[in-house]
Chains A and B, each alone.
Chain A
Amino acid sequence: MPSAASTTVRILIGGLALLVAVGYKNYRDLGAPGKRPDLDNNEYWGPQLKGQYQEIKAIKPFDISVSPELIADLKAQLERPLKVQEPLEGIGFEYGINSNELKKVVKYWRDSYLPNWNEREQFLKKFQHFQTEIQGLKIHFIHAKPTNVEGKKVLPLLLMHGWPGTVREFYDFIPLLTTGSDKSEYVFEVIAPSLPGYGWSQGASRPGMGVAQVSVILRNLMLRLGFDKFVIQGGDWGSTIGSSIASLFPENTLGYHSNMCGNNSPLGSLRLILSSIIPSFYIDSQYSEYYKGVGHLFVTIMEEFGYAHIQATKPDTIGAALAHNPVGLAAYILEKFSTWTNPAYKNLKDGGLTKHFTYEQLLDNIMIYYVTNSITTSMRLYSESLSKEQFSLNLENLPIKAPAGCARFAHEIFHAPDSVLANKYPNLIHSTHYPDGGHFPAFQVPQKLYEDFVSFVQKAFN
């Protein structure tokens, strides 16, 4: 018998054992499908107070300027001799980031990017930045108003990034949304927050702030800004949080668009397994290469989710390791911009990093993590969201009533077909496929994402 069979059985037995171990406690108390969990819309997340919490509702312009001392210290750190190991012979990015490429990035960061920092800072300031306090946390956001409303309809849009992204991913996307085009009768007033715990938004001071709780905060942000009803767009955690907002607050949701649609409800998971066994029942053969099945999902989880595993279990350890460690932070984050843009780039010595992004773009994004020192709090979103408490809310079983749209970019980590999404997105009106692009479409192919998004909006409101 070939060893592949024994390996498969071993993996299946091990995986089954693990699944049962985690699942039996968590899923034993699965509530009735579809019941909206009780969430405190005013839950306080800030530092412990002596007295009563007085929320400061003022919305203040926010200065993202970085102190020169921080830049000088960063430069000094980057000037230190690098202590990385040579890659193994013939290896590209198969073992993680290739240290030769990392050396190139560090050199560029030190010799080209940082001397030009004032220009980069000015660039980051090209949108209006604000901060306001929600439930004890200072929340940062970009507020971009539409520039050309002549003959156009304006819709408010909540635009959310993920990990290891930031608002920087949207710098080419936002102008398309606010300027408008002949492709759409809609333009958008864009609110792009830093997620709580990311960028210039404060992280929670106590355990419990998972996706559901973050969605309460960001929905409250929109209400604070006077938007009772809004459209949502997001990828990565932005997609998950957006899905949570749409599920919990249908009264506020005009529409939900995601470039990473998923359905983790038991029914969705079951259908996903079935779609691997009988693909013809579940998948349009025209798009079969987008839907690689549970086997591929399992391999992907094994090979690519080590970061999620450690972040979900020991965020403070890995956070402490990367905090104020610019080379380490760059290594850790850049690896994702390579592999998640296209998994095939693992075979490339430079990881294909500059095939679609400039070092400027990549470093701008890393700088936001670095100057705000937010890596630890960003990672805690994993531990807080992949917890017993979060699973027990049973959010996956709460369907999204609003019109929903799913854009699928070919090289994304994983796709689920419409048939699998059905019970979560009963109002799925828009489903598209793109042969290029990956996990970061707003960053990589903003024009395509824009056209897809406005196409969805057209369907949703006409």
Chain B
Amino acid sequence: MKCLVIFGLIVAILASIAGYGYLLFTDLTRPLPRPEFKDDTYWGPGDGKNYKPDTKIYDFVVDVPQAEIDDLRQQLNRTLKLTEPLDGIAFEYGFNTNALAQFVEYWREKYLTKWDERQNYLNSLKQYKTEIQGLKIHYIHERVSEEVAAKKNVYPLLLLHGWPGSVREFYDFIPMLVKDQNITDNAFEVVAPSLVGYGWSDAATRVGFNAAEMATVMRNLMLRLGHKKFFIQGGDWGSIIGSNLATLYPDNVLGYHSNMCIMNTPLSILKGIYTHYYPDKVLKSRMFHDHHVGIWEQYQELLVESGYFHIQATKPDTIGAALSSSPVALAAYILEKFQTCTSPSLKQDFGAMVTIFGLEAVLDNLMIYYLNNAATTAARFYAENTSKTYRDLQLERVQTDVPMGCCRFRFDLPAASEWQLKDKFTNIKHSMYFQHGSHFAAMEMPSMLYNDFTTFVQKVGLQTE
């Protein structure tokens, strides 16, 4: 009798623990409802009590005073006092200072001397500014021609960059999107903004401008331009902002395509570990294994590459001050990412950036940070997105049935499998794995990104509705 009671007690205790564990698990992994989000918060300077919204759209051209270029050249002419790399070291300790010295000379002697040419190139895409929620937003707006409109279905597309990128990443991609191409029935009216705090857009002056606020501003920008429904494409922060937009404002989104589809929910992390050990059970093809197996190496790699993230998320104004006071500082810091985001076989190679991107493109992008003194405000975005306020929104656990497409470039940050993505994206139309390419996909292989994006749009199948 006593045995039975004890046995019964043990079973009851174990069952309670199991039950509690199950409740805890489901509570931490179940999808959450869409939060209410205020879509008209004033983000301009001051308290906005006397704010009079200005809804006009203004033409914008890049027009840098010659004095600024001369001053930059003068700063780049200061005698460099860089420390020699350690013996036998290329880029393992960060950006190689010999490469940096060469780069600075190129910047000063070759690039800046043809700045007018570069400026004209930057102006080759039409640009505008308009004020959203108190912030002046800069954006590229390229429409299709009448001929293309006659032959193709035209959809509005919001194109979002990240860090340390800019609208410059899209200068080869955008011309493809507005053209009449054989491989697709679709063409796009492209809106490519500078993110708030980046490029030629204003920055927020109060705490709290996180990726949900950014998504709101960008959605409102599209509404301002008369686009109630649009596609979204993005990588890096652009991917996260696009995901938030698709989550908070699904009625505005025709489809969301990402070239950096990551998922960091507790459930996703557990699924990732499982996938590492049992890839055959999760992935459709052996070709996809390399993207997901080797998770511990991936975490180690992430640890080695994420120092910038850590310092920007916690002390953005410190690192911002450092990068703002010296163009050489800005170059070293940003170039390190362009050097690393090439491929494992190239990232110790002194010719990597030339091979993958071309120095002009890298410098154009660097100039956008330099001319707008955006290092600090760009870094602050990391702090806002790691804050409790943002984390409490738990947007990654909110589902959206917006049509979703994901492409994974081989050497980008580890991307989520469909099994992980579908916990959030209930309507995945397209999922692709590439054996090449890295983080700056639009710059490195715009045709592949274009192919993949238009394939996704085709699969969304709007014309058949």
Contact = CB atoms under 8 A, between A and B. Distances in A.
Interface in A35-70: 48
Contacts of B264: 10, 14
Contact of B380 (A18, A88, A98): A88
B380 A306 contact: no
Contact of B94 (A20, A25, A320): A320
Given A18-B299, A20-B296, A320-B95, A84 B325 contact: yes
A contact residues, range = 35 or more
Interface in B256-311: 264-266, 269-270, 273, 295-297, 299-300, 303-308, 310-311
B62 interface: no
Nearest to A103: B321
Contact of B315 (A96, A317, A326): A96
A47 to B, nearest CB: 8
B265 A10 contact: yes
Nearest to A329: B322
A316 interface: yes
A307 B89 CA distance: 22
Given A89-B205, A97-B317, A207-B89, A315 B391 contact: no
Interface string B94-110: 11110010000000000
A7 interface: yes
A35 B454 CA distance: 62
A96 B314 contact: yes
B183 interface: no
Given A95-B315, A95-B383, A323 B265 contact: no
A302 B94 CA distance: 22
A161 to B, nearest CB: 20
Nearest to B206: A89
A328 B333 CA distance: 13
A373 interface: yes
A356 B9 CA distance: 62
Contacts of A380: 86, 93
A278 interface: no
A164 interface: no
Interface in B382-416: 383, 388, 391-392, 394
B299 A99 contact: no
A5 B311 CA distance: 25
A369 to B, nearest CB: 12
B247 interface: no
Contacts of A327: 321-322, 325-326
Given A21-B300, A317-B333, A95 B316 contact: yes
Interface string A317-340: 111111111111101100100000
Given A204-B86, A207-B88, A88 B205 contact: yes
Interface stretch (B76-84, B221-229, B346-354, B456-464): B76-84
B253 interface: no
Given A321-B333, A328-B326, A84 B296 contact: no
A306 B94 contact: no
B100 A6 contact: no
A96 B308 contact: no
A67 to B, nearest CB: 13
B319 A96 contact: yes
A335 B314 CA distance: 12
Contacts of A21: 296-297, 299-300, 303
B465 interface: no
Contacts of B203: 85
B332 interface: yes
- Chain B interface main SS type: helix
B1 interface: no
A207 B80 contact: no
B315 A307 contact: yes
A349 interface: no
Contacts of A91: 207
B73 to A, nearest CB: 14
A305 interface: yes
A376 interface: yes
Given A205-B86, A313-B305, A96 B94 contact: no
Contact of B28 (A9, A102, A204, A373): A9
A312 B306 CA distance: 11
Nearest to B374: A85
Contacts of B303: 18, 21-22, 313
B36 interface: no
A98 B317 contact: yes
Nearest to A93: B317
A91 B295 CA distance: 39
A25 B316 CA distance: 32
A24 B322 CA distance: 36
Contacts of A316: 83, 85, 89, 93-97
B300 A325 contact: no
A13 interface: yes
B207 A89 contact: yes
Contacts of A313: 94, 303-305, 307
Contacts of B304: 313
A6 B28 contact: yes
A99 B269 contact: no
A310 interface: yes
A75 interface: no
Contacts of B81: 323-324, 373
A18 B85 CA distance: 29
B361 interface: no
Nearest to B308: A310
A24 B80 CA distance: 41
A119 to B, nearest CB: 25
Nearest to A17: B299
A437 B94 CA distance: 35
Contacts of A86: 205
B329 A325 contact: yes
A430 interface: no
A24 B303 CA distance: 14
Given A310-B307, A325-B328, A1 B318 contact: no
B322 A320 contact: no
Contacts of B296: 20-21, 24
Contacts of A304: 314
A405 interface: no
A161 B394 CA distance: 44
B323 interface: yes
B326 A96 contact: no
A152 interface: no
Contacts of A126: none
Given A1-B28, A306-B311, A310-B308, A320 B317 contact: no
B238 to A, nearest CB: 23
Interface string A68-88: 000001000000001111111
Contact of B322 (A20, A314, A328): A328
A335 B318 contact: yes
Interface centre among B97, B296, B312, B318 (most CB of A within 10 A): B318
B86 A85 contact: no
B83 A323 contact: yes
Nearest to B74: A80
Interface centre among B97, B322, B332, B333 (most CB of A within 10 A): B322
A206 interface: yes
B321 A321 contact: no
A150 interface: no
Contacts of B314: 96, 302-304, 306
B392 A3 contact: yes
Q: Please name the 10 residue pairs, one residue from A and one from B, whose CB atoms are nearest each other, closest first.
A: A310-B307, A317-B94, A96-B318, A96-B315, A314-B94, A328-B322, A306-B311, A321-B329, A331-B321, A316-B94
14 contacts: A10-B265, A13-B270, A48-B87, A83-B324, A85-B320, A91-B207, A96-B321, A97-B318, A206-B87, A313-B307, A314-B94, A323-B83, A327-B326, A373-B83
Given A17-B295, A95-B383, A320-B328, 14 more contacts: A14-B269, A17-B269, A205-B86, A306-B310, A306-B315, A310-B311, A313-B303, A314-B307, A316-B95, A316-B97, A321-B328, A323-B81, A324-B328, A383-B93
